[in-house]
Chain A
Amino acid sequence: MMNSVIKETDSQPMLAVKQITRRFGGLVAVNEVSFDVHNQEIFGLIGPNGAGKTTLFNLITGLIEPSSGQIFAQSQLISQLKPHQIAAKGIARTFQNIRLFGELSALENVIVGRHLHAKSNFITGILGLPQANQAEKKAKQKAQELIELVGLGDRLLEKAKNLSYGDQRRLEIARALALEPSILLLDEPAAGMNPNEKQVLSKFIRDLRTQFNLTIILIEHHVPLVMGLCDRIAVLNFGKLIALGQPEIVRNDPAVIEAYLGVD
């Protein structure tokens, strides 16, 4: 059930991260990070390895609980919700180490993404009641559209585990889109791609934003990609936010340069 899906109003940002901290025993993985993400912004999250970027994603999507701090999706507090509840609020994600349903076909993977939008339960589904059948049909249709959108139309029925790496990444995005999210979190979507593919991906992400009115947050290692694509960038290092702003400003920030290149 997609209830209380978040929508931006003039007063509230789409996503507000407030003083989020997460400790693992003695290690502080995320340290009092705060930032806002605005409607239909493409927001970049960068930083050296181990800076806490994926942990931050996991906090936003409810996979782990914050040690302190809060996260708001528009005015709604989401930091105490479970992952499936957060998905129901319209926040979808892809994973750093692709997590597809290997034994299911590409199409079925995306159909699973339609779970929240298809109105059928165990009884209505088994009995094949018209309402349920309709829902299943529509889910399949929508899934097919999305698969074609990401260019996997000819590999619909391939098992996800048999797809090439690049195709798997695209499939994961299609599956996330199936949720009809308002916010899309992409964790290193360009990993393993050559420069050409990265260009294509960049354009693709921009098109997604316009086509689906998405707010996009992405973690990425390839700095030029991020600089060219994002409206604003946040830089993490050792769990702390060390810079936040437009690409040109962040690029020249001494703290950022030091974090990536070290001090001479």
Chain B
Amino acid sequence: MDISLLLQNFLNGLSIGSIYAIFALGYTLIFSILGIINFAHGALFTLGAYFTYALMGEAFGFNGLLANLQLPIKLPFFLALLIGSTLAGFVGVVIEYIAFRPLRKRKADPLLTVVSSLGVALIIVNLIQYLVGAESYTFPSNTYGNLPAAINFGSSDKPIPIRTVQIVIFVVCGSILSLLTYAINFSRFGKAMRAVAEDQVTASLLGINTNLFIVSTFFISSFLAGLAGTLVGSSVSISGPYLGITFGLKGLAVIVLGGLGSIPGAVLGGLIIGITEAFVPADYSAYKDAVAFSILLMMLLIKPEGLLGRRFIQKV
């Protein structure tokens, strides 16, 4: 296999892997704070893509209640990305208030919350379909402004073209990840958040407003979901309201691989699955999706706590 192809595959994998990582990060943040899998995460992923698309002033199709919707504004991509993801973040907070907090208040079994999140996911996805129909949408070709379609990283006789999209993805993901890592590990806010993740009761006894941190975590997690969704939507396309569902399921594979609740694990898992998928030979491309799920099953059977997770010891 020649170097250029290898590199291409690797870079493709890295690119999709970093999106997986961002997505999984949101998943794992909620798990580490609340011990639940928020199945609505995939729906927020989709929502972010749709929000950004609308904010860029693009038109929706003629299906659905809000047929032909087109916002009178036309924001540049990066701004739309930020606002769209923020909106997704707010939706996440709303979900927490309406669906999850009441269950937490009465100390319900966490599985009940997981099921509720399934319901929320159903609502969001189908609401999107109801409002704007199920067609697919592509972002305009000048999304990234004046940047060329690809940038050549090699020499003129051995070109190594890398799609601008992928560079954008790297840059965005990389910066967000660095920001988050810094915030979580070195800021006061981050330390408090980790305290809440470790032991809610003790944290609140220490004067930490646990509810505030839970809400913040939901905001950040949903923001990340929306961000990931926008990146996928803009780099490939928005294939419809169900965009986030397969992603959501793959996200599960990522966090199990990396270890439920582990932040570096989410990044590692995302990259591993992304790169593995990229190296699936073209003949078997239909089985690409199976890669993630097979890895998931294997991890669950061999090492359920994941590569970087911790084993839980049950107290009798």
Contact = CB atoms under 8 A, between A and B. Distances in A.
Chains A and B touch each other in the complex, with CB atoms below 8 Å apart: yes
A54 B313 CA distance: 15
B316 A58 contact: yes
A95 B315 CA distance: 12
A122 interface: no
A185 B5 CA distance: 67
B316 A63 contact: yes
A63 B313 CA distance: 12
Interface of B: 313, 316
6 contacts: A24-B313, A54-B316, A58-B316, A63-B316, A95-B316, A96-B316
Contacts of A58: 316
Interface string A41-59: 0000000000000100010
Contacts of B313: 24
A58 B313 CA distance: 13
Interface in A21-61: 24, 54, 58
B288 to A, nearest CB: 40
Contacts of A63: 316
Nearest to B314: A63
A261 B295 CA distance: 56
The binding surface of chain B is classed by DSSP as loop
Contacts of B316: 54, 58, 63, 95-96
A24 B316 CA distance: 14
A63 B314 CA distance: 10
B108 to A, nearest CB: 16
Interface in A58-81: 58, 63
Nearest to A57: B316
Contacts of A24: 313
Contacts of A95: 316
Nearest to A95: B316
A78 to B, nearest CB: 18
A104 to B, nearest CB: 18
Nearest to A55: B316
A74 to B, nearest CB: 25
Interface in A95-131: 95-96
Contacts of A54: 316
A249 B202 CA distance: 42
Interface string A244-256: 0000000000000
Contacts of A96: 316
Nearest to B313: A24
A189 to B, nearest CB: 16
A83 to B, nearest CB: 10
A254 to B, nearest CB: 33
A58 B316 CA distance: 8
A54 B315 CA distance: 11
A96 B316 CA distance: 8
A63 B315 CA distance: 10
A146 to B, nearest CB: 24
A53 B241 CA distance: 57
A96 B315 CA distance: 11
A64 to B, nearest CB: 8
A224 B316 CA distance: 26
B262 to A, nearest CB: 18
A63 B316 CA distance: 9
Interface string A231-250: 00000000000000000000
A105 to B, nearest CB: 22
A26 to B, nearest CB: 13
A95 B316 CA distance: 8
Nearest to A96: B316
Nearest to A24: B313
A82 to B, nearest CB: 15
B168 to A, nearest CB: 44
A24 B312 CA distance: 12
Nearest to A58: B316
B313 to A, nearest CB: 7
B125 to A, nearest CB: 35
Nearest to A99: B316
A76 B271 CA distance: 51
A164 B277 CA distance: 58
A95 B314 CA distance: 14
Interface in A1-38: 24
By Cβ-Cβ distance, the 6 closest A-B pairs, closest first, are A58-B316, A63-B316, A24-B313, A54-B316, A95-B316, A96-B316
A135 B180 CA distance: 63
Interface string A84-103: 00000000000110000000
A96 B313 CA distance: 18
A60 to B, nearest CB: 12
A67 to B, nearest CB: 14
